[in-house]
Homo-oligomer: A and B are copies of this chain.
Amino acid sequence: MPTSDSHASMADVARRAGVSVATVSRALHGSPLVSVETAARVTAAAEELSFAISRVASGLASGRLGRIGLLLGGPLHGWFNGTVIDAVHDRLTPADVELTIFRIRDRAERDVFFTRLPARRNVDALIVASFALTGAEHTRLQTLGVPLVYLNQRVRGVPSVAIDDVAGARDGVRGLLGLGHRRIAFVRSVQRNPGFRYSADRRVEGFRSAMAEAGVAERDQLVVDAHDLDAGDEVLATVLTRSEPPTAVAADSDELAIGILAAVVRAGLRAPDDLSLLGFDDHALAGRLGLSTVAQPAALTAGEAADLALTLAAGRVPARRTIVVPTRLILRRTTGPVAPRAAA
């Protein structure tokens, strides 16, 4: 019988099944070294005692924790982070690996994380999502002693899964150019805490690249900073009060674009008639709102990262250490040819 009123231990199961703890362990892990009859007896005994292997004990003995960490910046309820958590969890579950969330909110928490490294000796692998890590931080992570996988971020020598932000933004802007737009503004979200988004600058780069390619001089490449996801009105005002206002606006995220879209409606204007609007991400609401966007398959990216982490955690060698996931331009109802009023 169990030692106390709490949980049954493997020894209890062993006693009940009339075998040794070693056999119980093997049977419960589905080892082929155990005869079917014995395995059945053990399984039955475990069932009757409501026994479950303790992950801590097992982890201590085997050195494998059965847990993968996910390091995130920013709010977990944002579209990107939420999607990532979802996708990673879905890949880990079938492998019977658990997910532990590490989140960094601000500079202070960030320093604490990299100082204490709470993931140390605590996860089998760590997925690092969308940070713009400093060199020092990156070096520090290397001392963690567990495999790392970078998500939406490229660093030489570290396994990573990422979209090509430059190409994505470039394709999006090319799409606008293809619709005849020449005066295009790019709206960039400026975080209060720099370093929390790896992609931001690269998307601006893609914009500039497409514009240059179309022969637009750098000084005519309008880049507007949004200091807040709710800065829609402000951005719209900035843009529309120019002497030659743009005919299209590309934002570096859908969440930002949606805010601008709302501002457009509030201003009594219409998209795309008065202004074409393009987002980035393919946020869950983008389709519902008809927002044109550069879709990044975040779920896929995160899923690949999880697979990579699982492989590394198991000590196996992955087929590819660096994976680039493609983006895709989706034109919905907020983009249209330039000067549609003349055409109508």
Contacts and interface: CB of A to CB of B under 8 A. Distances in A.
Interface of A: 6-7, 50, 52-57, 59-60, 65, 67, 75-79, 81-83, 85-86, 89-90, 93, 98-101, 103, 105, 109, 116-118, 120-122, 143, 145, 229-230, 232, 258-259, 262, 265-266, 284-285, 287-290
Nearest to A90: B105
The number of times this chain is found in the oligomer is 2
Contact of A101 (B81, B101, B288): B101
A57 B55 contact: no
A262 B289 contact: yes
Nearest to A52: B120
A58 to B, nearest CB: 9
A158 B52 CA distance: 24
A230 B288 contact: yes
A78 B85 contact: no
A338 B82 CA distance: 39
A257 to B, nearest CB: 11
Contact of A76 (B56, B75, B86): B86
Contacts of A54: 60, 121-122
Contacts of A85: 76-77, 85, 101
A82 B89 contact: no
A76 B65 contact: no
Contacts of A288: 229-230, 232, 258-259, 262
6 contacts: A7-B145, A55-B122, A75-B86, A77-B284, A78-B82, A89-B101
A103 B117 contact: no
A308 to B, nearest CB: 19
Contacts of A105: 90
A3 B37 CA distance: 41
A77 B79 contact: yes
Nearest to A83: B77
Contacts of A290: 262, 266
Nearest to A290: B262
Given A77-B85, A99-B100, A101-B99, A121 B259 contact: no
Contacts of A232: 288
Nearest to A66: B122
Nearest to A78: B82
B79 A121 contact: no
Contact of A121 (B55, B89, B90, B116): B55
Contacts of A89: 76, 101, 103
Nearest to A122: B55
A196 to B, nearest CB: 15
Nearest to A57: B60
Nearest to A55: B122
Contacts of A99: 100-101
